[in-house]
A and B are shown apart, each in its own frame.
Chain A
């Protein structure tokens, strides 16, 4: 028995909901969003739709830059040994990389996928496990997991910072995470200008910016190859 809510009621309900999810919308975004919905849809559904949509946008234009919800502008300063960021800060993922495995092995894996070798019935097994003839209680360590990852994050104001996955954060990985995905950092530790991600200090909201993600995935193999052929010191530009 839904009653048609007024535009401003809907606007407030959506705004409150998104704020509670740490993605407080800008007025501009709300203005663009409202015409696309039908006001007589149940409010819960509208809120969900709004969340889904905003997670697919560029934070810089869609989310309000309340000062408490952004990174300090000097966040990447390497002179600062350590600091903590209080409160919840929402960021989007601009880039990320598996730094636990050589880039070359990642390239080979991509090429195997391209050749269709990951599809059922077409697998080519290239590493024949030598029989582990030790204690059966000894768990085999061979898994195809990736990570840990290093990420490049950006807040609603446009400030960028690097982050390192100190412990595995569920939802971070090439298959699961997209470029443009949103994370909420809570009381997070920053060492020498790099955010140290732990499971308890990160919430992966998800989402993606289609255009960025597509470009990233398309260029990924070439990027990995280039990085593999990098100069000796292996330094990463900040």
Chain B
């Protein structure tokens, strides 16, 4: 008897692509009652494990199941919000997904094998388990060992898919449970705090603001960073500083020497030191060293990097970049765009990938050059999520089939990949130090000898400085010019998106999959606004204002990032389609409501404020622990609920503080 296999992908586009690859485009397409987008693709295929099979490939549209509190808790005034920590949660199929769910049931009834083809990350694992739940309700036998399996794939390229089809693996229940826990926690904590927050301050808000004031355990710390930077900028006090500049002219070239002390905030001391320089009359060259130097090619591309670069170089917000990347992935042009991995697996045939890019595009000659001997193994970063490779182009694509925005993201991915496979740029750096009085000054010159990767990656800049004249160690000269120069410190700018992404990444809130969403959320909730950063005049060494670097606290820079994929997997083209093409980097300004909320919670004076990243970071770490089998979902849910319940109770006691903050920033601020 021919084995019947039911394959289920996460989205219609994936289902179609996989079905076509496996069947050699010999597919019968059938409609699904009640849903226009979902199709069933019927074909024959010989799976290595099960022989000749009749295959039906279909898809869901993100999560099949929805979760909400039991009906008696749904109304906001039905209970005290804190009851939601323990209230029963119903799991059900919402109306919009009923047709899809029914389709799964119908197809599952006669299937011997259930083959899950959802995207390979935590969220996908969870959706896979939902599909399994729906299917096994109708067909118990699918619960038998080996009857429900999943495919491991990172892109939609044909050879890759066929290879994946040959090597099914079990569903990872640990990951599915991590997501289930996250969903439950977000629901309980989100709902209870949101209800409490809204009910407490809604009456104080006017008009537009008189809506739901939401709380999210990730949104708040994200908003916290924005507000904190806002206050830093507003409270900034510019301070005068003084420096000594030395200039000497030799061989017709004017050389500026920079003070080793950079600058000092005490004029008297600088004047004294300056006098001693003048008193010495001559300066002596203490060091002349010319060394080869290089500018490293970039690391393989991760999601966080893509978002930061998208913001910085493509002037697109992170949400938009991810949407476009997702589209490129679904159509088989790039690999899975949600990854933390910044090292290429040694076994990967990178040359073959480079080969694909010689067919066209402005980089084709460069790609050819790589194949002709310029190829160099990519650098290895420190991260490997073991699930997906760094983002890279999988095929050659004629740009005309892409929209303008897609082209820009695609181009970035290709150029980045080719840059990874190039040599570092090489140059020669000359450092010269002089002793003038008792003060040390230095200058340096750079000659770029080989641009290498820079030729395909215009996003990095490295140019030769002006030539330096020849100095000898021990040489003595009288500087042409020496003077005291003053300046003022200037405030940092408001937070830009790349900076915010960096902060979230480094402080462990959100994951590569979710950071863009949290940022989109605080915009949607009108907790922040964005505006283009005002043009700041280019400052060179000569100029007056130099920004002071803030103290860097001495802490360990652990880069352990949690991996909860907390994104809502709705259908494509979700919510905030923010247009790209903004000129100038966008900066975030909190709204009065945003400020009121953060300040309100901060002023409650808890050891751990909701506006700080610690709680969320802990949650992300616990998610990781579930995935790695170190904790169970139940344990984590219980621990986290207990933590937040305590916070909730304290918040209740200090609601007056929150109201005072709203009064101060919102109410008094209006009119």
Residues of A within 8 A of B (CB): 81, 99-106, 108-109, 112, 116-118, 121-129, 131, 133-135, 137-138, 142-144, 148, 150, 162, 164, 166, 191-192, 194, 225, 228-230, 232-236
Contacts and interface: CB of A to CB of B under 8 A. Distances in A.
Contact of B499 (A99, A105, A128, A166): A128
Interface string B575-617: 0000000000000000000000000000000010000111000
Which residue of A104, A124, A150 has the most chain B CB atoms within 10 A of its CB atom? Answer: A124
Interface in B92-113: none
A102 B241 contact: yes
CB-CB nearest 7 A-B residue pairs: A128-B502, A133-B296, A123-B555, A109-B551, A99-B266, A234-B240, A228-B237
A105 B550 contact: yes
B296 A129 contact: no
Nearest to B262: A100
B628 interface: no
A112 B552 CA distance: 11
Contacts of A150: 266, 269
Majority SS of interface residues in chain A?
loop
A81 B555 contact: no
B539 interface: no
Nearest to B239: A102
B443 to A, nearest CB: 16
Contacts of B296: 133-134
Contacts of A137: 291
A133 B269 contact: no
A100 B293 CA distance: 30
A105 B299 contact: no
Contact of A234 (B239, B275, B298, B552): B239
Which residue of A100, A126, A150, A191 has the most chain B CB atoms within 10 A of its CB atom? Answer: A126
A125 B294 contact: no
Interface string B261-272: 110111111011
A102 B267 contact: no
B506 interface: yes
A147 to B, nearest CB: 10
Contacts of B248: none
Nearest to A104: B237
B275 A192 contact: yes
Contacts of A125: 503, 506-507, 553, 555, 557
B630 interface: no
Contacts of A194: 268-269, 272
B295 interface: yes
A172 to B, nearest CB: 15
B82 interface: no
5 contacts: A100-B262, A133-B296, A166-B438, A194-B272, A230-B239
A236 B268 contact: yes
B554 interface: yes
B136 interface: no
Given A100-B265, A150-B266, A235-B268, A134 B293 contact: yes
A228 B552 contact: no
Interface string B482-523: 000000010000000001001101110000000000000000
Contact of A126 (B241, B294, B429, B503): B503
A108 B295 contact: no
A85 B276 CA distance: 18
Interface string B133-172: 0000000000000000000000000000000000000000
B236 interface: yes
Contacts of B267: 233-236
Given A81-B275, A134-B294, A112 B489 contact: no
A194 B272 CA distance: 8
A229 B236 CA distance: 9
A129 B505 CA distance: 12
B548 A122 contact: no
A234 B487 CA distance: 11
Given A100-B261, A105-B548, A112 B237 contact: no
A109 B554 CA distance: 11
Contacts of B275: 81, 191-192
Given A103-B237, A105-B548, A138-B293, 11 more contacts: A100-B262, A104-B489, A105-B551, A108-B232, A108-B551, A125-B557, A126-B553, A128-B502, A135-B291, A194-B268, A228-B237
Nearest to B267: A234
A20 B607 CA distance: 50
Interface in B459-490: 460, 489
Contacts of B551: 101, 105-106, 108-109, 112, 144
A134 B296 CA distance: 6
B313 to A, nearest CB: 14
B555 A104 contact: no
B269 A99 contact: yes
Contacts of B499: 128
A164 B269 contact: yes
Given A99-B264, A104-B239, A134-B294, A144 B269 contact: no
A55 B264 CA distance: 31
B643 to A, nearest CB: 14
Contacts of B549: 105, 127, 142
Given A100-B265, A105-B548, A164 B293 contact: no
Nearest to A109: B551
B553 A109 contact: yes
Contacts of B240: 232-234
Contacts of B268: 162, 194, 235-236
A100 B552 CA distance: 15
A21 B293 CA distance: 51
Nearest to A136: B296
Nearest to B236: A104
B553 A117 contact: yes
B341 to A, nearest CB: 16
Given A106-B551, A112-B553, A191-B275, A124 B269 contact: no
Which residue of A106, A122, A137 has the most chain B CB atoms within 10 A of its CB atom? Answer: A122
Which residue of B299, B506, B555 has the most chain A CB atoms within 10 A of its CB atom? Answer: B555
Contacts of A124: 507, 612-613
